[in-house]
Structure 1
Amino acid sequence: MEHHWQLHKAKLRSYLARHLNHDADTDDILQEVYIKAHTQWHTLKSQTSLSAWLHRIAYNTLMDHFRQSKPWDELPDSLESPDADETEMAHQQLSECLRPLMEELPEKYRVPLEMADLDGKNQQQVADELGLSLSGAKSRVQRGRILLKEKFTACCDIEVGRGGVTSFSPKKPGSQRC
């Protein structure tokens, strides 16, 4: 085992070092790989697959290391969440911005979209009021959403968080026709 280990040790160390920031971590994981390989030597089916077998152990050990480590700092308890009024104001500004963009949509998509998303009607009600089949109403609402999204993302930079859109701003003038 020792002879085989020495033949592959440099390659394994190089592989691990490419994925880790610290030499100490690399050495620790390399040592874990050696221990696992030594204790599992009896599971090796063929000497010809030794290199692949050792690399698989190194990969699995590296993944275990990443799963156990926390690459981020915990947020302090004193961190305040965004003010609800700011979020509400962003939503209000966003809705004022969406109305003109919706008005640019073709009527066959705009009307069902307004009924479903602004008036709060379910799609069966939209279908009944417009004389459409349910699948036709669903199709028009979905197509309207897609067209509106395309217009909106062409004109605005959007920031999305847990509560939906948290911030948006117009793109540079002249970058798109808005």
Structure 2
Amino acid sequence: METQNIWDNFNEELYFFILKRVKDKDITNDIFQNTFFKIHKNLSSLEKEEKARAWVFQIARNEISNHFNKESVYVDELHSPQESPLEKYEHICCFDQFIDDLPEIYHQVIELIYIKGLKQKEVAEALDISLENVKARVSRAKEILKKKFNECCQYELDEQGRLRGEANCSQCSPNNKLGNESGK
């Protein structure tokens, strides 16, 4: 398959696919151009012509993601006084304790990513482990945390995957902790 064939078959659909997601014609044109540049450059890696559509649209999705990642870095630098990732969870009952109670291999990645704000790739390099291993540890840590929140505080996940529940459950209130610690 040649770049011209891909252009003939997908250019309009691809352009509107990108435009629908970024909602800006100038940015769409840039992403569209980058997408076709990468298509042309990597065309030899397309093994089966029947997979061309999926391959083309995956390249476009990656370019859209790259655009938003670059934009978010710029916006973060623009707004210097940032809220740390941990601050948005401070109101959640037991959050610190649950993080501290994680097994060390999970605690490390959660702390580096969500508390110190490192990217997963940076964590992999810092800990001298694979990126896949970092992702697996993050996933496992999240599962442990979800289970603890659900068991202790009756938190549940909503449709978007966010925690919902009471911020100060009776099991974790300071009075109850004191009572449990003193053997009452």
Give 1 or 2: higher strand fraction.
Answer: 1
What TM-score, normalized by structure 1, do the two folds share? 0.45
Structure exhibiting the larger radius of gyration computed from Cα positions: 1
